[in-house]
Structure 1
Amino acid sequence: MSTTTRRQFLQTSLIGGAAALAATTVGRIAQADGHAQAHTVTIKGFTFQPAQLTINAGDTVTFVNGDGAPHTATATNRSFDTGRLGRGASATLQFGAAGRYDYFCEIHPRMKGVLTVV
């Protein structure tokens, strides 16, 4: 291979590789921005507010403890758990799989909620 041909090959390879990398990066940014929405469930008065919430797959839900007592938001099937949230603490979870998720507070088991992912 001559020096000129080798240079042309390398230039073409570098330009093609850069274009492929740019396309991949843009695709990832578009997916990250996508149509995902952020939702909030407030824990107040020993209840989850709202107690029932429907979201799209990929959305996030932030559980915020507005009570003086600690709480958790724990799926009955153990697929998610915020862990113990003290006063003013929060935990954000992303839900990718469609389905119905019943959840409760492990500390106060009478506190219940339902999250539906479509």
Structure 2
Amino acid sequence: MKRRTVSADPAGPAASADPATLAVTTLPATPLFRLIAALLAALSLGLLLQQPSAAASASVRPAAEVIVIIEDGRFVPQNVTIRRGDTVRWTNNDRFDHTVTSSDGLGWDSGVLTPGQSFRRAFPVHGVFRYHDRLNPSITGTVAVR
């Protein structure tokens, strides 16, 4: 190996016996060394350009849709828990007309759903949202948004 002495003194090592003199070892520029250096550089670049990890992308998920069926004069399931941004779809599979109407005074209402019709609503904020069937007020349900 070659050994080169580098001094902190601009006059060079011969002009100073200062303990600030540094010894630097240079590595030989052999083909094997160049190959290893190139492989390490390529690996480093590949890691920098790599797609985000599964853990990082897990925080971003597509919104889900939860289905509530209206049948036999009730909401099934009556209570659902979803994540912020998810959508609930109510489908009237009963023989009679129904509505999905906010009980909390928030103003959302499906209008009359005839058999086979559906209504969707996204829930962008956390909270517990109560609803009922305006045509049959004893039919109730809740959406809990976590």
Give the structure-2-normalised TM-score: 0.56
**Residue of structure 2 in register with 1:87 after alignment:** 115
Instruction: Find the partner of 1:72 among 99, 114, 136.
Output: 99
5 Å-filtered alignment, 1:46-57, equals: 46-57=73-84
Q: Is 1:40 aligned with 2:67?
A: yes
Instruction: Give aligned pairs, total.
Output: 87
Deviation string, structure 1 residues 10-65 (Cα, Å, up to 9, x no partner): xxxxxxxxxxxxxxxxxxxx9xx833111100000000000010000100111000
Dislocated runs of 4+, deviation >4 Å: none
Q: Tell me how far apart the structure 1 counterparts of residues 81 and 61 of structure 2 sit (CA, whole Å).
A: 18
Provide structure 2 residue ranges, at least 5 long, that are not aligned to the other structure: 1-56
One-letter code of the match for 1:37? A
Instruction: Find the partner of 1:97 among 119, 125, 128.
Output: 125
Bigger Rg over Cα: 2
One-letter code of the match for 1:86? T
Q: Tell me how far apart the structure 2 counterparts of residues 96 and 117 of structure 1 sit (CA, whole Å).
A: 8
Provide structure 1 residue ranges, at least 5 long, that are not aligned to the other structure: 1-29
Give the structure-1-normalised TM-score: 0.69
Tell me: higher relative CO, structure 1 or 2? Use CA pairs within 8 A at least 6 residues apart: 1
SS state of the match for residue 141, structure 2? Answer: strand
